[in-house]
Amino acid sequence: MNLPSCLSQLCRALPRRIGSTTQLILRSLSRSLVLSSQRRIPEFSSFVARTNTCGELRSSHLGQEVTLCGWIQYRRQNIFLVLRDFHGLVQVLIPQDESAASVKKILCDAPVESVVQVSGTVISRPPGQENPKMPTGEIEIKVKTAKLLNSCRKLPFEIKDFVKKTETLRLQYRYLDLRSFQMQYNLRLRSQMVMKMREYLCNLHGFVDIETPTLFKKTPGGAKEFLVPSREPGKFYSLPQSPQQFKQLLMVGGLDRYFQVARCYRDEGSRPDRQPEFTQIDIEMSFVDQTGIQRLIEGLLHCSWPSDKDPVVVPFPSMTFAEALATYGTDKPDTRFGMKIIDISDLFRNTEIGFLQDALNKPEGTIKAICVPEGTKYFKRREIDSIRKIAADHFNQEVLPIFLKVGRNWNSPVAKLIIEEQRLELTRLMEIQEEDMVLLTAGEHKKACSLLGKLRLECADLLEMRGVVLRDTSLFSFLWVVDFPLFLPKEENPSELESTHHPFTAPHPNDIHLLYTEPKKVRSQHYDLVLNGHEIGGGSIRIHDAELQRYILETLLKEDVKLLSHLLQALEYGAPPHGGIALGLDRLMCLITGAPSIRDVIAFPKSFRGHDLMSNAPDSVPPEELKPYHIQVSWPTDAEAEKSS
């Protein structure tokens, strides 16, 4: 029961005649409660030249004298005007009598999207003219005075959500695009969620918000870090990809619980849904284990989740990396729907189908399948061709898919070679129903899983394009993925190792002995948080032992430890056990708002080529301004320029 309702019940239940002291206290208590409950709705009109926002006016304001400021949304026959501010729309009655001619002139002459201030009285709309679709639809404003605050010239596009604009136009006139309902909603929701996260971390759990530098030095292997020339010849700062080193050093410094809404930088050139600068909720704790971080983050998301959505259910399910790969063919499974990968190798141990036999005879050879519900009903030649193309484009011949159309008679060239017994067992194992389609592949475990994982998502998209509801858009399906391998073979040289995530990740306690014998088998204490098939966060328990850190960097990863000597040294001076996580705020907001791109949850994003289309950044700089930084441009030759374009 909340406090104000508690109090009102208390008042009703109290004996009629109570002492005057009690009455006084009760009145004071009541005032406090009203104040504290009022405080939950911010005062949007404090300190400014309005009494109310356009969007807040209701019948309860009838008769009040109000002053509003806003943009002219539209005008109807010089009689009505709809005024807009960030809070909503309100109808303004343009006065028609002679004495108010100057007010009428102002309101009728101002172009759409001009900014005006009006003062007047809140009145009821005449009976029958209420607009139930408009939150302020029961009232209108009878204007007494009006002031044109700024006029608007002809717009490059209309500020209406149903008017489709190209993204280039939207980014070029971002300040106009920001006026749309959707952008206002996205940015305000982002601000509110981050605020609730801060309250959870700072006020409930004693985290310290600490700002770490962004002018730092290049990290080993940090090939994607922007450089910042300094005034010392040949010396550069680097814009870090994350505050990883700093947050660990803060734990060594005894700060105990750190968080930061951290700006990070990554120079990946042109990538469609990436930004050169992005934001992460960055967290680190001392004396914590994997479970501790997971419970913290579940609480964080539960606490900050938008109230207009279904509450987040905690704890989140967890899955090992091996299981995610085997079942969903990816380390970030979308668990909103089934179509899981099933291993059917055993079924075909004695098959006579040649290429299945071949596959099984190879090391780690397997046969896998997914069952696409109602696939035979919805998938025609075109869909199947598109699936086949993806398989061919992304994977090699070994793992080409086989389509088994399940009907009265299984329709597939291969189907004839499947004996009745196998067919029955397959149907049972995979819960195949009539009109389903089975996608089958044979090959090395990881490759076969990856292919089917990709085709699973492709099939889901194709089914949804056909109108099948597979993934509930109001559903938010969180998942922890754990027990990643600590190392991977380097792509360019598979005999060498590289960190799966980063070299500060602690090995799984049960696998530490394997570090010195079979490092490829060591699992890590890394965890990823996945939402609806997107990785929205990742973190780990870190190495706090200098010896172990040095062994991993020097012996296993062959890194130049000189660049990290400060971190290694810090671990020797009483570093506590610690771990942390970082959540990608842009991606998270994008998923929550259902926005088509992360550019829709960022106020001033860069285009996919990394340009600011509004101001035209990056831009040329005259040579004399490069001089203090001791750099000069190496202009590419015509041949080079041609090659790169």
Q: Residue 269 interacts with a second copy (CB under 8 A)? A: yes
Q: Kindly compute the dihedral angle of the four CA atoms of residues 314, 318, 324, 326, in this order, to the nearest 10 degrees.
A: -120
Q: Residue 293 or 463: which CB sits closer to a second copy?
A: 293
3-state class of 315 per DSSP? coil
Q: Residue 115 or 134: which CB sits closer to a second copy?
A: 115
Minimum distance from residue 592 beta carbon to a second copy (Å): 16
Could you give the CA distance from residue 249 to residue 483 in angstroms, rounded to a whole number?
25
Q: Residue 132 or 162: which CB sits closer to a second copy?
A: 162
Minimum distance from residue 183 beta carbon to a second copy (Å): 8
Phi, psi of 281 (to 5 degrees): -80, 110
Minimum distance from residue 402 beta carbon to a second copy (Å): 43
Minimum distance from residue 127 beta carbon to a second copy (Å): 33
Report whether 485 contacts 522 (CB < 8 A). yes
599-629: buried (b, 16+ CB within 10 Å) or exposed (e) per residue? bbbbeebbebebbbbeeeeeeeeeeeeeeeb
Q: Residue 101 interacts with a second copy (CB under 8 A)? A: no
The residue behind tokens 């660990």 is 248
Q: Is the peptide bond before 15 cis (omega within 30 degrees of 0)?
A: no
Q: Which of 161, 572, 594, 596 binds a second copy (CB under 8 A)?
A: 572
Q: Which of 74, 75, 100, 115 binds a second copy (CB under 8 A)?
A: 115
Alpha carbons within 13 A on the beta-carbon side of 562: 1
Q: Residue 29 or 468: which CB sits closer to a second copy?
A: 29
Q: Residue 296 or 404: which CB sits closer to a second copy?
A: 296
- Within residues 291-320, the interface with a second copy by CB under 8 A covers 292-293, 295-296
Q: Which of 208, 417, 424, 512 binds a second copy (CB under 8 A)?
A: 208
Phi-psi region for residue 623, left (φ > 0), alpha (ψ -120 to 50) or beta?
alpha
Q: Residue 169 interacts with a second copy (CB under 8 A)? A: no
Q: Is the peptide bond before 132 cis (omega within 30 degrees of 0)?
A: no
Please state, as a whole number, how many other Cβ atoms lie within 10 Å of the Cβ of residue 471.
16
Q: Residue 643 interacts with a second copy (CB under 8 A)? A: no
Q: Which of 149, 303, 400, 468 binds a second copy (CB under 8 A)?
A: 149
Q: Residue 384 or 631: which CB sits closer to a second copy?
A: 631
Q: Residue 173 interacts with a second copy (CB under 8 A)? A: yes
Could you give the CA distance from residue 338 to residue 336 in angstroms, rounded to a whole number?
7
Q: Residue 60 or 291: which CB sits closer to a second copy?
A: 291
Structure tokens at 596: 């088509």
Q: Residue 639 interacts with a second copy (CB under 8 A)? A: no
Minimum distance from residue 9 beta carbon to a second copy (Å): 5
Report whether 389 contacts 383 (CB < 8 A). no
Please state, as a whole number, how many other Cβ atoms lie within 10 Å of the Cβ of residue 211.
11
Q: Which stretch binds a second copy (CB under 8 A): 335-343, 379-387, 466-474, 629-637?
A: 629-637
Q: Which of 89, 288, 418, 432 binds a second copy (CB under 8 A)?
A: 288
Q: Is the peptide bond before 489 cis (omega within 30 degrees of 0)?
A: no
Phi, psi of 332 (to 5 degrees): -135, 70
Chain centroid to CA 645: 32
Q: Which stretch binds a second copy (CB under 8 A): 174-182, 399-407, 416-424, 552-560?
A: 174-182
Beta bridge partners of 119: 67, 145
Q: Residue 133 or 154: which CB sits closer to a second copy?
A: 154
- Within residues 178-197, the interface with a second copy by CB under 8 A covers 178-179, 183-184, 187-188, 191-192, 194-195
Minimum distance from residue 504 beta carbon to a second copy (Å): 14
Q: DSSP E strands: which ranges in 476-570?
A: 478-482, 487-489, 497-499, 526-531, 534-541
Could you give the CA distance from residue 274 to residue 598 in angstroms, rounded to a whole number?
8
- Within residues 415-454, the interface with a second copy by CB under 8 A covers none
Span between the terminal Cα atoms of the chain, in Å: 65
Report whether 189 contacts 306 (CB < 8 A). yes
Q: Which stretch binds a second copy (CB under 8 A): 75-83, 163-171, 416-424, 632-640?
A: 632-640
Q: Which stretch binds a second copy (CB under 8 A): 317-325, 368-376, 454-462, 630-638?
A: 630-638
Could you give the CA distance from residue 161 to residue 304 in angstroms, rounded to a whole number?
27
Q: Which stretch binds a second copy (CB under 8 A): 356-364, 434-442, 469-477, 572-580?
A: 572-580
Q: Residue 551 interacts with a second copy (CB under 8 A)? A: no
Q: Which of 52, 73, 286, 366 binds a second copy (CB under 8 A)?
A: 286
- Within residues 474-493, the interface with a second copy by CB under 8 A covers none
Q: Residue 205 or 445: which CB sits closer to a second copy?
A: 205
- Within residues 209-268, the interface with a second copy by CB under 8 A covers 209-218, 223, 226-239, 245-246, 249-250, 252-257, 263, 265, 267
Q: Which of 63, 77, 133, 153 binds a second copy (CB under 8 A)?
A: 153
Q: What is the DSSP letter of 211?
A: -
Q: Residue 82 or 288: which CB sits closer to a second copy?
A: 288
Beta bridge partners of 113: none
Non-local CB neighbours of 197 within 8 Å, separated by 6+ positions: 281, 300, 303, 304
Q: Which of 46, 77, 166, 474 binds a second copy (CB under 8 A)?
A: 46
Minimum distance from residue 613 beta carbon to a second copy (Å): 9
- 321: enclosing H helix or E strand: helix 321-328
Q: Which of 320, 353, 576, 593 binds a second copy (CB under 8 A)?
A: 576
Q: What is the DSSP letter of 617?
A: B
Q: Residue 500 interacts with a second copy (CB under 8 A)? A: no
Non-local CB neighbours of 444 within 8 Å, separated by 6+ positions: 362, 363, 364, 365, 366, 398, 399
- 284: enclosing H helix or E strand: strand 277-286
Please state, as a whole number, how many other Cβ atoms lie within 10 Å of the Cβ of residue 259.
25
Q: Which of 88, 135, 221, 577 binds a second copy (CB under 8 A)?
A: 577
Q: Residue 602 interacts with a second copy (CB under 8 A)? A: yes
Q: Residue 21 interacts with a second copy (CB under 8 A)? A: yes
Q: Which of 356, 448, 541, 575 binds a second copy (CB under 8 A)?
A: 575
Q: Which of 634, 639, 642, 643 binds a second copy (CB under 8 A)?
A: 634
Q: Which of 279, 327, 376, 499 binds a second copy (CB under 8 A)?
A: 279
Q: Which stretch binds a second copy (CB under 8 A): 119-127, 163-171, 290-298, 442-450?
A: 290-298
Beta bridge partners of 343: 368
> Could you tell me whether strands 139-150 and 208-209 are parallel, antiparallel, or unpaired per DSSP bridges?
unpaired
Structure tokens at 431: 């819960």
Give the total of residues touching a second copy (CB under 8 A).
158
